[in-house]
Structure 1
Amino acid sequence: MKFLKIAAIAIFCFCCSISFSQTDTTPDNQVTEYPKRSYTTTSVANLEPIKIDGVLDEATWDAVEWTTDYTQFEPDNGAAPTEQTKMKIVYDDKNLYVAFKCYQADPSTIEKRMGRRDDFPGDWVEINIDSYGDERTGFSFTASASGVKGDEFISNNGNFDGSWNPIWYLDTKIDDDGWTAEMRIPLSQLRFGKDDEQVWGIQSTRRYFRNEERSTWQQLPANPPGWVSSFGELRGIKGLKPQKQLEIQPYTVGKLDTYEKEPGNPFRDGSDTKLTGGLDAKIGVTNDLTLDLTINPDFGQVDADPGAVALDGFEIFFQERRPFFVENKSVFDFNVGGGADNLFFSRRIGRSPQGSAFGATTVFVDQPINSTILGAAKFSGKTQNGWTLGVLESVTAKEFADVINQDGSESETVVEPLTNYFVGRVQKDFNDNNSYVGGIFTATHRNMEDNLQFLHSHAYSGGLDFLHNWKDRKYYVTGKFNYSHVRGSKEAIEETQRSIRHLFARPDASHLEVDPNRTSLTGTGGSFEIGKGGGGNWRYGTGGNWKSPEFEINDIGFLRQADDIRQYTFVTRNFNTSTSWYRRANLRGNLSTAFDFEGNYNRIQYEIGGFVNYKNNWWSDFGAAHKPRIFTNTALQGGPRWRFNEENFWFFFSGTDQRKKLSFRAGHVNSQAKQDNFAFYNYEFGVRYQPLNTLSLNLDLEYSENPNKTQYVTTRNFNGDPRYITAAIDQETLSATLRVNYNINPNLTIQYYGQPFIFKAKYSDFNFVNNPIAEDINERVTLFNNDQITFEEGGYLIDEDADGATDYSFGDPNFAFVQFRSNLVMRWEYIPGSEIFLVWSQGITGVGDPDNSFGTIIDNQLLRQRPQNTFLIKATYRFVL
């Protein structure tokens, strides 16, 4: 409790000091209203064509007036910007044209740094267009002073998705007044209705790099209740004909893999070659709805996943990186209660085969790394009357592993069945776009094989969701209801019941029981939240979520743990008016609890934190938490409910001005439990250096220690009863991530990604669980004495009753995991939408000696090992029909 008192006093004093220095005294219940601006455009279809060269010299631009009077959004909300901006918009039958004049008294101070597409380290200006007119959805087009393009799809009134890559045209120029940007946006890349006269929402934002300042065309309060709903209006759009998009993009890939030859193994002869091709297409079924198709897609240019190791038995979540699934993914998102849990997790499609071809007589196996996606189709969009629709259908191939047996015979083994995946999503806006209701349905069907009966044959999930905003979107209430149903063999359903996500076999769970005769499971989940999300300086809310014991969505979704009930309350105080020492800041606090469906009170956590962006653009992010109660149903991986000692943790991260050519960031996380039950010490350091406008380097280093006196090792049988073995563990992790970006021009880039990752785990002080929920760790476990435990080559022998006979044994759990992944990609967009990729990937994965130092492991397991190399050339051409 002393920790909580000190934390409460600290946050109160800090809050008071900032509050007293604030110049903005607007009451929280008062929302500053700004008049909605309007700009009138006109058609220039019969005038001189506009050439996109960044020079606004065509007489056609004189058909409309400039609009200006941008105002600061950050840091001094409502103030005049340091430098003003002007904008013009015209259109013809096929395109929307946008021109910007970004004034700058000293053009030499314009920051022309280049980055990859959708990355803007310098000056930029953008336009956001709500052509649906729904006040929730928009299209964003950004121009950097260096001529790099950025484009994002805006959903849910403020979620920006950079995976959207439309075809459009841009050029910029620097002159005596500052810099100009000229855009041509094909109307086929937008979505709009059939009305003869239309009103679109628009907003324009400029970043003035020198002062790290944002100014907007439509004035906004510091904490707008939504982004798209706050847009101004674009009028004068008459007689536009909806444009049905039709784009076809075939591709071809040549690939060479080289690796260390394995003597006697015909599957590992030192190299493999492959030539393949496929097709992507984008078809505008209507002006509102688009059909995306892919046949035999290739994702060879996608970055590898970062290194990670988990000892808790749970699957590690990795973000989707494949373009087909990333683009417009927000339509299909259906979070089921915080974290990564979602009814749809696209990485299930094309996953690594789940079967194994290894057997008692197997000598060599050639098993595919991923399941082949034969084809996929995605139908998505939003209609003029407020319906958001999404349908995704994909089929993955039956996968075989080639096998060579001891007698020299060859055979094939099915390791993944032919599988069909389906996702359907719908939402309907109403109440002047302040509310929506929606639903989702997913289905996974497998063409089952005899040796894959451990998989579900059918898996279904679905849900309903709603959101209601009121008081000018200042307050909200949202909720979801989810269900799941899986079917399969008795083997498959029993394996699901015993899995780490469900643990029906826990001996102390009176509400759970493994039924070996079941062939299906049906579960539910849901969430509810109500709070204040806009206006004023305060944000707060309260809510909860649940996942029943039988809830199972991992065939096409992602679920970490079922049998879980959570409650939370949070509050944030924003400080958005700059003072003499900061530009903006916030303080936040939350309380959360957890239960299971038996009614066990498993966890409570109090957390406080804050963020400060200082006047010199340095920043700090900090927080602390207290966990007086920590119980878990999964620590013993099938054993009884387990208690950890209460924990305190704090973190502090800070960094220098990210605008500088050389900038740094560093941070530390410190967590400790009573009686030294466990601890976590994490150290991070990052440096970014941009010596040239065309070259940037980023290096991030991370080191962590995670000692634990009661790390689960294994379960063994002792006199007919399960014996849960834990031990003290010293975990160390070291990783470094290097990114190098070189922009030859806005359309020709070279990117490098490399990450060595090392994980070491050393076990000692082996013990067995005595009373898993005892408050004192010495009552929770009992150490083996020297007469009870003996180490022999490869493992430990346990004579628990000290009668001279071995009662049980287990292997040596010490290990070190070593991985190196790198990717060097040259990308050339030789015409808009058409690209050539040259790729060189390297990979090393192995094991090391945990007794060695990191330096020795790096030398032996990384530098002295021959990596696997992949050389790939991929060419695409986008036909716009």
Structure 2
Amino acid sequence: MALRFALFFAFLSHALLFSQNNTSNDALTGPTSGIAGKKKLTSLFTKEKITVDGNMNEAIWANAETASDFIMYQPDNGKPLPYDKRTEVKILYDNEAIYIGAKMYDDPTKILKEITERDNFGTSDFFGIFINGYNDGQQDYRFFVSAAGTQMDCLATDDGEDYSWDGIWHSNVSMTDFGWIAEMKIPYAALRFSEKEKQNWGMNLFREIRRDRQKYTWNYINTKMGTFTQQAGVLEGIENIKPPTRLFLMPYVSIYENTNDNGNETKFKAGLDVKYGINDSFTLDAILVPDFGQTAFDNVTLNLGPFEQQFNENRPFFTEGTDLFNKGDLLYTRRIGSAPSTYPNTTDEQKVLDYPANVNLLNALKISGRTAKGLGIGVLNAITEKTDVTIETQTAIPNADPSLPPTIKYNYRKQTVEPLANYNVIVLDQRFRKNSSVSLINTNVMRDGHFNDANVTGALFDLNTKANSYNLSGDFKYSYINQMGTNENLNGYRAYLNFGKTSGKFRFNANGSYVNNEFDINDLGINYINNYHHLYNNVSYRILNPNKMFNSFNINLNSYAEMNNTTGRAQETYFNLNVNMTGKKNDFVGIGIQLEPFVTYDFYQPIASGRFVYNPRAFKSWIDISSNYNRKLALDTGIWYHIMDQDKRNTVGFYFNPRYRFSNKALGILGFEVDRRNDDKGRVDYVDADPNDNIQGDVIFANRNRNTITTSFTGKYSISPKMTVNVKARYYWSYAENLNFLVLTSNGYFEPDDNYSKNKNSNFKTWNLDLSYSWWVAPGSQLSVLYRNNAIHYENIINKKFIDNLDHTIANNLNNTLSVSFRYCIDYNSTKNWFKA
């Protein structure tokens, strides 16, 4: 109780202190008076054919209205763009698309123009247009083109940008004696808008001058307001256009040749992706016979803790356009098609022969969009196939001659480890006042047969004041698991509440939650712990415009306390202070310290009901440095040091990642990271213990040293903005050497265990290499060739020689795969006349 009171008092004092100092600096004014209103631009209809060649040669361009007078967004918010770097933008439209022509004035010899693959801005100047067809401040369609000709596009809300979305549009650029020109053609099929006769779209224009790291917008974006999409200007003049039929068919063919110690295997796949605009607001995405064989590899690590490793989602279908489905953090799409949910119970005489790493995904679809009244609706559904394994049973039959060994008889049977399963997500998100929302999310997993079903429902609210100065948000989530084969069902819940000041130099927020013992979303989501409540506080100060020393500066003070519901003991407590700053030459430095002044207790590491282990007081510190990427040679580096009030227990580590841009086409990045944990403590075994029993038997821990070294290389050579060769290699080596064993006592501390003698050392290595060639043959159509080799090796023998471990890993059944995949996008609007007489 004293600890909770102390943390609450600390938060209250900081909040009062900062609120007293928060004066007129928070006023929503900028250095340029009168720029807060919405600018307007009138587009011009054209019957002339526009060739998107980056030249703007057509006569009609001279008659179009010009958008100019750009204002700096970052770093010196509100400062006008100098005349010698002015930007002039004109917009035309016809019955098929809108056309954007932009002239960027600058010294041509100083314009940065690194060629990169799609959606990678790189070290290059770029121009962009943001379009909201409903002008409701909810969601932008953003299209960028770099000075090198690379396309980038995304869907954007105030919650973030989703670059996994790829629209079908056209662009080109040209260098001139006054700077550079960008031309874009954006078909109406790539946008969303109403059927009104006269269109008024929300629009903003964007430009970055990369060498100065300066970003400008046409309509002024006041950074003090904490919102972006609602500060757009207006595009007028578009009349009598009709939303087209938005139907895209994307057939693909792939071939895989796999070679390892077990032999060769050739696989051929073919399938179809469908994208269909149901109406002006909603889109259907479906995959039939999916192929994810060329997705990026996972950065697997040695996991000695009680929780699974969480991986990034790399499958395009599950990353594109998922902003609605990510609300509430109830969806972890890697569950769909992951390893089976059960593992067979076997005896000593039985062996599981073919347990799969994942279950095949049969098909998936999602429907998402938002109505004119701000109601967002999302439905995601996926089906995975029934999966069986083979169980081998060995039976010893005594020989008639006792002097001869028995005859071994083998029997085989099939057992289902995952039935046909249906995964479903439904999201309703009602926005109002353009900056607030209430949401309802439901996730459901239904499995056929004697397997668990699961259902989770969450209700969320996110409320902001009209000026976006304060935020009140929270949620309530309820989980239900139907445990087939038992009479017990799990009913869990979580409640969360947050309040904060979200604008101005001084900001703060405080939040708390309560999670009961049976809250579990892991059938379709991911959460590691339950049965706790927490209180978090944050106060921060930042500069809103550059000063004599910094382009940006931010200092944060945080406190956190987490308590176990059953015992009332603290599970985690800390105070930390971190400072992040960018200097005048755009070099970044981040510094932090964290104090953990109280003994806490870990109720999860023992993985046994009623057991816990104490964590000592600790002090942590870190520093991160990132030099300006505009330089040919740049560096990301950092170091951390943690010391604990227990024996000689500490952690020290560093990373060193230099990057060199050989030319506008070639870039290489080296990665090297070392982490050493001395006298670490971790669970290794049970002795006469059942993890489901309450304080029965012994839980064995090890006092160990753990070293981890990760080396990597990432490189790219861009032949053109549409054709790139990429290489990515990673070697990960981590070993844990046990010094002595300990038995966990009932009060969470340790006693020496001199009787335990099993070899529980861990030596884990992984190697991955991807070499790929990608060619965007046409908008939305891609040819990709991938060569991949990978290996994984685990043993209990500790070998501390780096090269020896690498050799052993590569020699351990290295897997080689060569794959070729071709995906072609067929736009219904371009092909509907093919079959007419």
Q: TM-score scaled by structure 2?
A: 0.90
* Equivalent-residue separation in structure 1 for 2:759 and 2:540 (angstroms): 48
- Which residue type is aligned with residue 365 of structure 1? L
1:42 maps to: 43
Give the 5 Å matches for 1:333-372: 333-335=326-328, 342-356=329-343, 365-372=353-360
> Are 2:555 and 1:590 aligned?
no
- Of 58-67 and 349-358, the range deviating more from structure 2: 349-358
2:714 maps to: 739
Aligned 8 A contact 2:482 2:488 in 1: yes
2:212 maps to: 211
- Which residue type is aligned with residue 862 of structure 1? T
Superposed displacement of residue 851, structure 1: 3.0
Find the residue that maps to 1:27 and give its secondary structure: helix
- Which residue type is aligned with residue 446 of structure 1? R
> Are 2:772 and 1:825 aligned?
yes
Superposed displacement of residue 393, structure 1: 1.0
| Alignment equivalent of 2:474, drawn from 472, 475, 479 | 479
Show CA shifts across 1:318-341 (max 9, x none). 111100010011110133xxxxxx
Aligned 8 A contact 2:171 2:183 in 1: yes
2:520 maps to: 552
Give the 5 Å matches for 1:185-334: 185-261=186-262, 270-334=263-327
Give the 5 Å matches for 1:719-730: 721-730=696-705
- Which residue type is aligned with residue 317 of structure 1? Q
Aligned 8 A contact 1:38 1:235 in 2: no
* Equivalent-residue separation in structure 1 for 2:373 and 2:182 (angstroms): 34
Superposed displacement of residue 377, structure 1: 0.9
Find the residue that maps to 1:229 and give its secondary structure: helix
> Are 2:629 and 1:628 aligned?
no
* Equivalent-residue separation in structure 2 for 1:347 and 1:718 (angstroms): 32
| Alignment equivalent of 1:702, drawn from 648, 665, 673 | 673
Aligned 8 A contact 2:767 2:810 in 1: no
Superposed displacement of residue 405, structure 1: 6.2
Give the 5 Å matches for 1:609-648: 609-629=578-598, 630-638=600-608, 639-648=610-619
> Are 2:85 and 1:116 aligned?
no
* Equivalent-residue separation in structure 2 for 1:422 and 1:859 (angstroms): 43
- Which residue type is aligned with residue 636 of structure 2? R
- Which residue type is aligned with residue 352 of structure 1? A
Superposed displacement of residue 364, structure 1: 7.8
* Equivalent-residue separation in structure 2 for 1:552 and 1:284 (angstroms): 35
- Which residue type is aligned with residue 417 of structure 1? P
2:65 maps to: 65
Aligned 8 A contact 1:645 1:677 in 2: no
Find the residue that maps to 1:223 and give its secondary structure: helix
Superposed displacement of residue 875, structure 1: 1.1
Find the residue that maps to 1:558 and give its secondary structure: coil
2:180 maps to: 179
* Equivalent-residue separation in structure 2 for 1:856 and 1:30 (angstroms): 60
Find the residue that maps to 1:472 and give its secondary structure: coil
* Equivalent-residue separation in structure 2 for 1:29 and 1:708 (angstroms): 53
- Of 574-583 and 52-61, the range deviating more from structure 2: 574-583
> Are 2:643 and 1:672 aligned?
yes
Unaligned stretches of 5+ residues in structure 2: 1-5, 395-408, 829-837
> Are 2:788 and 1:841 aligned?
yes
Aligned 8 A contact 1:41 1:90 in 2: no
Give the 5 Å matches for 1:121-136: 121=122, 122-136=124-138
* Equivalent-residue separation in structure 1 for 2:173 and 2:286 (angstroms): 34
- Which residue type is aligned with residue 636 of structure 1? P
* Equivalent-residue separation in structure 2 for 1:714 and 1:674 (angstroms): 25
- Of 546-555 and 403-412, the range deviating more from structure 2: 403-412
1:465 maps to: 460
* Equivalent-residue separation in structure 1 for 2:28 and 2:61 (angstroms): 41
Show CA shifts across 1:420-458 (max 9, x none). 11100011122x32322110111111112xxxx5x41x1
Aligned 8 A contact 1:677 1:710 in 2: no
* Equivalent-residue separation in structure 2 for 1:119 and 1:41 (angstroms): 31
- Of 710-719 and 694-703, the range deviating more from structure 2: 710-719
- Of 634-643 and 711-720, the range deviating more from structure 2: 711-720
* Equivalent-residue separation in structure 1 for 2:95 and 2:163 (angstroms): 27
Aligned 8 A contact 1:818 1:848 in 2: no
Show CA shifts across 1:782-839 (max 9, x none). 223xxx43xxxxxx45xxxxxxxxxxxxx31101001011222211111111111111
Superposed displacement of residue 868, structure 1: 0.3
Aligned 8 A contact 1:71 1:78 in 2: yes
Superposed displacement of residue 195, structure 1: 2.1
- Which residue type is aligned with residue 129 of structure 2? I
2:439 maps to: 438
Alpha-carbon spacing, 1:244–1:528, altered in 2? closer, same or farther (3 Å):
farther
> Are 2:62 and 1:93 aligned?
no
Alpha-carbon spacing, 1:765–1:364, altered in 2? closer, same or farther (3 Å):
closer
Find the residue that maps to 1:586 and give its secondary structure: strand
- Which residue type is aligned with residue 58 of structure 2? E
Find the residue that maps to 2:79 and give its secondary structure: coil
Aligned 8 A contact 2:44 2:91 in 1: no
Percentage of identical aligned residues: 26
Superposed displacement of residue 616, structure 1: 1.6
* Equivalent-residue separation in structure 2 for 1:665 and 1:441 (angstroms): 41
| Alignment equivalent of 1:656, drawn from 627, 652, 669 | 627
Superposed displacement of residue 711, structure 1: 2.1
Find the residue that maps to 1:188 and give its secondary structure: helix
Show CA shifts across 1:280-300 (max 9, x none). 000010011000010111111
- Which residue type is aligned with residue 376 of structure 2? T
Aligned 8 A contact 1:49 1:60 in 2: no
* Equivalent-residue separation in structure 1 for 2:331 and 2:621 (angstroms): 33
- Which residue type is aligned with residue 551 of structure 1? F
* Equivalent-residue separation in structure 1 for 2:807 and 2:103 (angstroms): 58
* Equivalent-residue separation in structure 2 for 1:680 and 1:117 (angstroms): 39
* Equivalent-residue separation in structure 1 for 2:255 and 2:211 (angstroms): 45
Alpha-carbon spacing, 1:409–1:63, altered in 2? closer, same or farther (3 Å):
farther
1:756 maps to: 731
Alpha-carbon spacing, 1:673–1:360, altered in 2? closer, same or farther (3 Å):
closer
* Equivalent-residue separation in structure 2 for 1:355 and 1:727 (angstroms): 29
Find the residue that maps to 1:625 and give its secondary structure: strand
2:375 maps to: 387
Find the residue that maps to 2:630 and give its secondary structure: coil
Aligned 8 A contact 2:793 2:812 in 1: no
Alpha-carbon spacing, 1:361–1:636, altered in 2? closer, same or farther (3 Å):
closer
* Equivalent-residue separation in structure 2 for 1:718 and 1:596 (angstroms): 23
- Which residue type is aligned with residue 713 of structure 1? V
Show CA shifts across 1:33-89 (max 9, x none). 7332323333424x2111100011111223312111112222222223352211111
Alpha-carbon RMSD across the aligned residues, in angstroms, is 2.5
* Equivalent-residue separation in structure 2 for 1:136 and 1:408 (angstroms): 64
Alpha-carbon spacing, 1:129–1:359, altered in 2? closer, same or farther (3 Å):
farther
Unaligned stretches of 5+ residues in structure 1: 262-269, 336-341, 491-516, 774-779, 790-795, 798-810
* Equivalent-residue separation in structure 1 for 2:522 and 2:234 (angstroms): 44
1:504 maps to: none
- Which residue type is aligned with residue 350 of structure 1? G
* Equivalent-residue separation in structure 1 for 2:217 and 2:480 (angstroms): 49
Q: TM-score scaled by structure 1?
A: 0.85
- Of 25-34 and 472-481, the range deviating more from structure 2: 25-34
Find the residue that maps to 2:585 and give its secondary structure: coil
- Which residue type is aligned with residue 379 of structure 1? I
* Equivalent-residue separation in structure 2 for 1:334 and 1:152 (angstroms): 18
Aligned 8 A contact 1:394 1:421 in 2: yes
Aligned 8 A contact 2:28 2:225 in 1: no
